[in-house]
Every structure is written in structure tokens, then in C-alpha cells.
């Protein structure tokens, strides 16, 4: 049996959902000959770890307790009096992660799961890989860091999985890697990689004002608490950079042309959220509507997409054929069209739910199971 020691960084919505999936899938994984052994969990300020990471693991009821603590907005530091675990904070967290990875390096190795939203984890991730561990990412920021750090992180690709950084549970990364490794060069990728912006543009196309759709999307929980985090396009730009680098583009995040759907003068640094929603958004309706009408006059529709070709990588509003997969897109699904030598006239299309804690956590869990062969040499796997 493959025994995989897991240390989870990030206990927000995705991280908690992942722990629930690990617990609920115990019978299935037992049939498959896999044991996922959670030995540590971190949030942004603290970490809990099992005292003996070599042979022990957190009980499932304790993992559920951790999820409840974070759902209630409390801290792991409150667990210091329980004796159930060791609790660390501040700079101790990074040191403890490396201690755990070092202790496990001579046996199974550690699987470090990054479900945080931090840009500060890349050093730890690279060190764990150098200690014969594996890394699974839902966090996009390590893969969009400067190339100097990116190259170190991807230096051992067999020890890295990051499907959920682009399409949640959709097999975008795996498909691209299979195509490239089979000698089918990819010439173009165009995709709608934001469920929020996909929903907004398809609703506006139906005749609703842009401001009304964005406000509704916020109330439905489709956007970030500040919708400008979605409307600015940087989340899509990070996904585009991850895909472009997979294709061999040696570019940085700031070299991607990104179209924001609001002007800089309406940004968070200039006006508060309430003012943006009440007075700023309605001022954007007319310009968006004109672009939609212009696209329609050409027989097209408007979508917010990433476009990656040999000489460019950009993110923004594009006219696409209304008969294409992107043109038919409705709601919050993600769609990716991949053009290659084998798919030159009709692209390979990947479509489905590309957002949500549940979908993303499923993608992370699938990535963890995909690295199980790296742990078959452990003593407990015999």
C-alpha cells in the first residue's frame, strides 16, 4: 500500500473541502491501495503537526475539528492546551515544515499541498522537492513568480502537480503535457478561464446592464468580496502565464498585456468598494454595451479570454465566433480551445466547471493520487 504523508498549507474553503474529501474517500482509497496520512495543517498564522510524523497521523475527527475551527474564524493557536498536537506560529512554521520534510526524506518523503493564496511559499516548496518530497498546488502564485524561482520549482517535474491552478478539476494541464510529450506542438490556446467573467459576459450578452450583472454576481457569491479583484483580470493573467510557460514561453507576469474592465481611477487605491458599486460600475455600462453590439454586427460575441500564441500572450475582451465553443459558453463554466498540428482546424475543447471549492479540491485530490508511485518505496508501502 502507498502511504502518503500530507502537510496542508492553507485551510480556507479549498483546504477544508480537501480534508473533507480525504476523509470521505477513505473506503475508496483503501480499495485502491492508498493511505493519505495527514501529518500537519497550516493556516496563515499557525500550524498544527502530529508529534510523530514517521508513523502517526491526525485522526479524522480531529481533522474535522480543525475544519470547524477555521470555519468559525478561530485560530489553531487555541489548540495549544489540548495535547492533541504540536502548535507552531510565525517563523516556526517554515522551520517545522522543513523539519517534517527532512524527517520523512529517508523514508517515504512528504507531499506538501499548497492551497493557500500566498506568494511567500515558493521557498518552502522548492526545499521540499529538494528533500525528495512532492508538491501539489492549487495556489497559482508560486508558478507565476519570477523565472529564477519558477525554474527551481519545476526542476523535477515528476514531483510537482498543479492541475488546479488553471481549471480547478478540469484536465487542462494534463492534456497539454500529453500533447507536448507526444510531439504534437501547440500553436494557440484561447480560453475563458474565469467563471466570474464568463458568467458576467454571457449575461450582459443577453441584454442586462454590466453593472446589474456584476452586482448580482457579487450577491450570488460568484465574485471575490471586492469584484474588482475579478474585473481587473490578474487572476486570468496568472493562469495564462502558467499555460504559456508550459508551452516554453520565457516570460514574466508583467509582460502579459492585461485589459482591466474598470479604469485605474476606479481602483481600490482610489475609491472605496461601496462607491465603486454604487457610482462607478454604472459608468461602465455604455462602453461595454457598445462593444457587445459591435461584436454582434460582425456575427460574433464578446468574451473575456486569455490568448496564447507564439508571439503573444494577452488577457482581455475578444470577439469570438458565436458558433465556437467559447461563443456558446453560458454561465460560469470554463472553456479552453487548444490548437495544434493534430487539432489545427477543429480545436481540442475542454469545458466544464472551472471554479468552486468543491471542484478545486477534487482536482487537488486527483493530483495527490497521481503522485502515489513516488511513495511506493516507503516502508509502510511494502
Show which residues are catalytic: 239
> For the chain, first and last CA: distance in Å?
6
Rounded CA separation 96/63 (Å): 19
Strand partners for 35: 3
- Cα–Cα distance, 46 to 5 (Å, whole number): 19
Q: Beta partners for 351?
A: 335
Residue 321, SS3 per DSSP? strand
Q: SS3 for 350?
A: strand
Q: For residue 64, give the C-alpha cell.
A: 474535522
- Whether 258 and 312 have beta carbons less than 8 Å apart is answered as no
Beta strands across the sheet bearing 160-161: 86-89, 46-49, 34-42, 2-9, 111-114, 134-137, 160-161
Let me know: does 41 contact 11? Beta carbons within 8 Å.
Answer: yes
Q: Which three cell numbers stand for residue 218?
A: 457579487
Name the helix (H) or strand (E) containing 353.
strand 348-353
Q: Are 3 and 37 in contact (CB under 8 A)?
A: yes
Amino acid at each position: 500500500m502507498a502511504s502518503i504523508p500530507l502537510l496542508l498549507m492553507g485551510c480556507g474553503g479549498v483546504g477544508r473541502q480537501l480534508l473533507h474529501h480525504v476523509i470521505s474517500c477513505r473506503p475508496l482509497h483503501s480499495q485502491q491501495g492508498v493511505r493519505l496520512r495527514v501529518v500537519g495543517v497550516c493556516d496563515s498564522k499557525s500550524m498544527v503537526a502530529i508529534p510523530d510524523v514517521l508513523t502517526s497521523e491526525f485522526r479524522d475527527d480531529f481533522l474535522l475539528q480543525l475544519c470547524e475551527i477555521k470555519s468559525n474564524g478561530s485560530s489553531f493557536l487555541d489548540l495549544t492546551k489540548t495535547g492533541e498536537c504540536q502548535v507552531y506560529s510565525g517563523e516556526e512554521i517554515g522551520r517545522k515544515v522543513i523539519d517534517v520534510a527532512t524527517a520523512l526524506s529517508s523514508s517515504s518523503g512528504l507531499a506538501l499541498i499548497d492551497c493557500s493564496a500566498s506568494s511567500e511559499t515558493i521557498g518552502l516548496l522548492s526545499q521540499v522537492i529538494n528533500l525528495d518530497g512532492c508538491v501539489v498546488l492549487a495556489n497559482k502564485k508560486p508558478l507565476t513568480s519570477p523565472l529564477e524561482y519558477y525554474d527551481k520549482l519545476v526542476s523535477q517535474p515528476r514531483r510537482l502537480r498543479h492541475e488546479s491552478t488553471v481549471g480547478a478539476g478540469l484536465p487542462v494541464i494534463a492534456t497539454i503535457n500529453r500533447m507536448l510529450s507526444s510531439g504534437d506542438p501547440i500553436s494557440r490556446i484561447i480560453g475563458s478561464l474565469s467563471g466570474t467573467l464568463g458568467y458576467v459576459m454571457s449575461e450582459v450578452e443577453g441584454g442586462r446592464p454590466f453593472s446589474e450583472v456584476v452586482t448580482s454576481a457579487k450577491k450570488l457569491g460568484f465574485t471575490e468580496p471586492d469584484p474588482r479583484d475579478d474585473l481587473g483580470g490578474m487572476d486570468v493573467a496568472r493562469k495564462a502565464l502558467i499555460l504559456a510557460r508550459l508551452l516554453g514561453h520565457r516570460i514574466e507576469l508583467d509582460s502579459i498585456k492585461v485589459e482591466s474592465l474598470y479604469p485605474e481611477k476606479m481602483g481600490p487605491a482610489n475609491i472605496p468598494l461601496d462607491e465603486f458599486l454604487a457610482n462607478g460600475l454604472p459608468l461602465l455600462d455604455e462602453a461595454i454595451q457598445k462593444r457587445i453590439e459591435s461584436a454582434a454586427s460582425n456575427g460574433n460575441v464578446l468574451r473575456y479570454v486569455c490568448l496564447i500564441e507564439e508571439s503573444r500572450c494577452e488577457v482581455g475582451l475578444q470577439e469570438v465566433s458565436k458558433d465556437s465553443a467559447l461563443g456558446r459558453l453560458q454561465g460560469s463554466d470554463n472553456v479552453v480551445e487548444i490548437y495544434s498540428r493534430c487539432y489545427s482546424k477543429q480545436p481540442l475543447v475542454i469545458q466544464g466547471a472551472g471554479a468552486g471549492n468543491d471542484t478545486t479540491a477534487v482536482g487537488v485530490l486527483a493530483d495527490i493520487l497521481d503522485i502515489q508511485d513516488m511513495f511506493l518505496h516507503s516502508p509502510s508501502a511494502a
